[in-house]
Structure 1
Amino acid sequence: MRTKHLHPLCKPLLWPLLLVLLLGLSLPAAARLPVEVDGEPLPSLAPMLERTIPGVVNLATRGRVQERGSPLFDDPFFRRFFDLPQVPRERQTQGLGSGVILDAEKGFILTNDHVIRNADEIVVTLHDGRRLDAKVIGTDQATDLAVLKVAAEGLQALPVADSDALKVGDFVVAIGNPFGLGQTVTSGIVSALGRTGLSVEAYEDFIQTDASINPGNSGGALVNLRGELVGINSAILTRGGGNIGIGFAIPVNMALQVMDHLVEYGEVRRGRLGVSVQDLTPDLARAFGIEQTRGAVIARVERGSPGARAGLREGDVVTRVNGRVIRNAAELRNAIGLLRVGSTVELEILRDKRTRVIRTQVGEIQVSTLEGGRISPRLEGAALGEIQEDSPLHGEVEGVVVVRVAPGSPAARAGLRPGDLILSVNRRPVTSLEDVRQAAGAGGQRLLLNLRRDNSAFFLLLQ
């Protein structure tokens, strides 16, 4: 064996390595593959996975989406010059993902909203090979969760753990259907907790893990070594479309709260206190004269809101909600937004360097909407609303939100989707419904919308 190309640090290890290899070749086959050491069986995840894998399913979807063509065809001057009609184009989509059975008796399956979004057909494949059609019970784009229902006997639900008890360094296992290969298991640890900022529009509190999560794993299970569900695999940070060791899962405690809303109402009815909040920074802590470095500062209290009636004030620092530590504004927004409307909430706050406890009832977010058909026939079927103070978008961007779009309506055929943010109409920036009305009236027979969708922005011409 040649050694001249080895790094110098490797040469002293070469002869012991050769000796081990020679000894290994002389041992019987059973000795090279031991099943136990000192009479104890080797550790294995296989027994746990045998119980757990049947609770994770594969999803296949089909649907249709409006397809945008070249930006030139959306330019009104280009279209007018060549006298080109606007022809909506559709393309068929197919998708793969995963899901977790959480109620075997009722057939409820939890998955990601982005896995089944725009799907006309959803097929669930169980571990035993059965293929079932699934019905959508409800979806929530803000948390990227959806609940499906199947009718079948012999389903096996996953047991659930308390995701609040997770710690960085805990071992976890991801189960899903990456790249459509079929059920696949990967292992790793909890790399971080409370990750936010992946999307401005979302309610986020991600578990970060280095267990390999790839396209197709979305909606699958993240379990602990007891086989208990701790999270729903949702996203990855990647540069080339594959796993680089940074994956994200929605904590199961949050997922269950969303699931309860979706099963009962078909949507998430978010609670509100009627306050605007911001992170407690070291500079703000020094300005308030407190040693606390984590929390959510109340910047504004809406008159007549639940927070105002409870006695909350500007400058109060919220440190706990129902006993749970609040580290930043996003955690407070998550905690309140997922509570049931009318439920009592206990807030621990710092005011004038003293800790106080305030109790109040969670109110309902009142979203004033305007039917798009009252603005323009081209917006028929869409409902528009202003950004509320409780929204994650508030203070981050300016615009008007597309609250809902009726299937098959002119707005839907034109390509509008719920959650789209209208930044401008006919090249006029809009921040209110009245702005939209005035800008639309100045555009004659056409509407040129500048939209923000997910992490992209584009123009959409309606005429």
Structure 2
Amino acid sequence: MNDNVEFRRNYRPPAARPMSLLALLLVGVVAVAGFVLLRASRLGSPEPRAEEKPLAVQLAGESISQSRQNAIVNAASKAGPAVVSIGVTATRIVRGVDPLYDEFFDYFFRDFVPPARYYKYRETIPKIGSGVIVSPDGYVVTNEHVVQDAEEITVATSDGRTQPGKLVGVHEASDVAIIKVEAENLPYARLGDSDNLAVGEWAIAIGNPFGSLIEDAQPSVTVGVVSARKRSFKPGSSGRVYNDMIQTDAAINPGNSGGPLINADGEVIGINTFIFTRSGGSMGVGFAIPINRVKTILDEVKKYGRVRDVWLGFTVITVDPESARALGLPAGGAVVRSVEIGSPAEKAGLKPGDVLERINNRIIRDSDDALAAFGSVLVGDTFSIDVLRGSKELHLELVPHEAP
């Protein structure tokens, strides 16, 4: 057995020699120079060009930009310049109470001195509304109630010009007025087809209610949809008849009356007219006159210089159920009372005693319904009339003529 044990000395590497001072300085200079050059290259280098940006970033930017230029923006930019502010100065006669009136004096001396408790005076009333230029020769459409009793009319365009306006045509029953402006290079809006509307399509209400009240003359825009078509209302105290109105939830606020309701193509489909409200502001139930109705009135004004008076040539009365039984009628309703000789009604075949059942598919229950059906009639309109004559039901067509 070999009991010899061999021990070896552990190996130690030779100690490293310290780096010289000159070598340390060289390393430091190189490091600082590299950092400075790198920093300068980052700060001085230009931003990457669009084509050098990642494709996803480019597409995202283009998508946001395109989404801003939607149909509503494009439509408003087409029709907006044609929307005007209409300023009206109206005068009315007002009865006031004499502040010097003495009731005691009047009691004893009324036989000698005429009573002067009340007196009349003229009051100037400024009004403002909206309108839309519909032709390059300066025809402006607005509501009749905007220019009612007007003694002076001014039209302010969106480019800051203010022109005097002349009232050239009014159809009070339809609440439509036509104003003429003598100016050059006027923007105008294209007229659409209100018979071709779809419930639910975009409806954009534009108005210019501020006029010269503020420096910016640009119109305001609200957006909604066509909520319903052919809404009709019985005549109110004003005598106006609103037939086949367009209902929209686009906000129509005070001062926007007379402005256009446009579609997504920027075409005028109606004239904003009134709202149903409890607060005085918009509640999403607004109504506009169909533009096809306005076209007919505009054509009348251009061709004849006015809206011609209409001749129908018959009268109706309301017969209550009790009187209807006495007359042998199956029910009450609107009964033709008289027919003028040679009138459009006689030519259509109407006779006294006929019971009006429907006018243009509108059910007639009384004389107010008949008045509403014919309330906004124009010369040349065609009316389909279903009447009950005895036990026979007849279908007649009546075309109104110009009043003699």
The alignment's TM-score, normalised by the length of structure 2, stands at 0.66
Contact 2:336 2:356 in 1 (8 A): no
Structure of higher CA gyration radius: 2
Answer yes or no: is 1:222 the counterpart of 2:261: yes
Instruction: Determine helix, strand or coil for the equivalent of 1:127.
Output: coil
Name the counterpart of 2:338.
302
Summarize the Cα distance change of 1:309–1:88 in structure 2 as closer, same or farther, 3 Å threshold: same
1:18-417 to 2 correspondences below 5 Å: 36=63, 43-70=70-97, 83-84=115-116, 86-105=118-137, 107-178=138-209, 182=217, 183-193=219-229, 194-197=231-234, 199-200=236-237, 201-205=239-243, 206-263=245-302, 264-276=304-316, 299-303=335-339, 304=341, 305-313=343-351, 314-318=354-358, 320=360, 325-328=361-364, 330=369, 333-334=372-373, 337-340=376-379, 343=380, 345=382, 347=384, 349=386, 351=388, 357-364=395-402
Summarize the Cα distance change of 1:95–1:339 in structure 2 as closer, same or farther, 3 Å threshold: closer
Contact 1:346 1:357 in 2 (8 A): no
Name the counterpart of 1:434.
none
Query: How many Å apart are 1:151 and its aligned residue?
Result: 0.9
Query: How many Å apart are 1:97 and its aligned residue?
Result: 0.9
Contact 1:190 1:209 in 2 (8 A): yes
Q: Which digits, 9 at most, give the CA deviation of each residue in 1:57-104, with x for residues without a partner?
A: 111222332223259999x99977583265322222212111111221
Contact 2:311 2:344 in 1 (8 A): no
Separation in 2, partners of 1:116, 1:336: 20
Summarize the Cα distance change of 1:34–1:239 in structure 2 as closer, same or farther, 3 Å threshold: farther
Instruction: Determine helix, strand or coil for the equivalent of 1:36.
Output: helix
Separation in 2, partners of 1:169, 1:73: 61
Separation in 1, partners of 2:256, 2:104: 44
Contact 1:122 1:134 in 2 (8 A): yes
Separation in 2, partners of 1:248, 1:77: 53
Instruction: Determine helix, strand or coil for the equivalent of 2:134.
Output: strand
Query: How many Å apart are 1:236 and its aligned residue?
Result: 1.9
Contact 1:272 1:337 in 2 (8 A): no
Name the counterpart of 1:25.
none
Q: Which digits, 9 at most, give the CA deviation of each residue in 1:191-211, with x for residues without a partner?
A: 233231362411212222111
The letter of the residue matching 1:161 is G
Summarize the Cα distance change of 1:327–1:171 in structure 2 as closer, same or farther, 3 Å threshold: farther
Contact 2:71 2:264 in 1 (8 A): no
Instruction: Determine helix, strand or coil for the equivalent of 2:297.
Output: helix
Q: Which digits, 9 at most, give the CA deviation of each residue in 1:414-458, with x for residues without a partner?
A: xxxxxxxxxxxxxxxxxxxxxxxxxxxxxxxxxxxxxxxxxxxxx
Instruction: Determine helix, strand or coil for the equivalent of 2:74.
Output: helix
Summarize the Cα distance change of 1:70–1:34 in structure 2 as closer, same or farther, 3 Å threshold: farther
Summarize the Cα distance change of 1:156–1:335 in structure 2 as closer, same or farther, 3 Å threshold: farther
Point out which structure has higher relative CO (alpha carbons under 8 A, 6+ apart). 2
Summarize the Cα distance change of 1:60–1:357 in structure 2 as closer, same or farther, 3 Å threshold: same
Summarize the Cα distance change of 1:357–1:243 in structure 2 as closer, same or farther, 3 Å threshold: same
The letter of the residue matching 2:164 is D
Q: Which digits, 9 at most, give the CA deviation of each residue in 1:277-309, with x for residues without a partner?
A: 779x9xx9xx9999xxxxx97511523343234
Name the counterpart of 2:5.
none
Name the counterpart of 1:370.
none
Instruction: Determine helix, strand or coil for the equivalent of 1:83.
Output: coil
Contact 2:315 2:336 in 1 (8 A): yes
Summarize the Cα distance change of 1:350–1:334 in structure 2 as closer, same or farther, 3 Å threshold: closer
Alignment RMSD (CA, Å): 4.0
Summarize the Cα distance change of 1:140–1:190 in structure 2 as closer, same or farther, 3 Å threshold: same
Give aligned pairs, total: 318
Separation in 2, partners of 1:71, 1:347: 56
Name the counterpart of 1:373.
none
Query: How many Å apart are 1:140 and its aligned residue?
Result: 2.9
Contact 2:85 2:210 in 1 (8 A): no
Instruction: Determine helix, strand or coil for the equivalent of 2:350.
Output: coil
Separation in 1, partners of 2:383, 2:234: 26
Contact 1:60 1:122 in 2 (8 A): yes
Separation in 1, partners of 2:100, 2:251: 41
Summarize the Cα distance change of 1:122–1:116 in structure 2 as closer, same or farther, 3 Å threshold: same
Query: How many Å apart are 1:318 and its aligned residue?
Result: 3.4
Query: How many Å apart are 1:190 and its aligned residue?
Result: 2.0
Instruction: Determine helix, strand or coil for the equivalent of 1:158.
Output: coil
Query: How many Å apart are 1:350 and its aligned residue?
Result: 5.9
The letter of the residue matching 1:199 is G
Instruction: Determine helix, strand or coil for the equivalent of 2:78.
Output: helix
Separation in 2, partners of 1:46, 1:326: 38
Moved more, 304-313 or 226-235: 304-313
Moved more, 157-166 or 128-137: 157-166
Separation in 2, partners of 1:73, 1:198: 42
Separation in 2, partners of 1:40, 1:51: 18
Q: Which digits, 9 at most, give the CA deviation of each residue in 1:129-178, with x for residues without a partner?
A: 11111111122332222111111111222221221232432320000024
Summarize the Cα distance change of 1:310–1:92 in structure 2 as closer, same or farther, 3 Å threshold: closer
Question: Which ranges in structure 1 are unaligned for 5 or more consecutive residues?
Answer: 1-29, 291-295, 367-463
Name the counterpart of 2:10.
none
Query: How many Å apart are 1:184 and its aligned residue?
Result: 0.3
Instruction: Determine helix, strand or coil for the equivalent of 1:59.
Output: strand
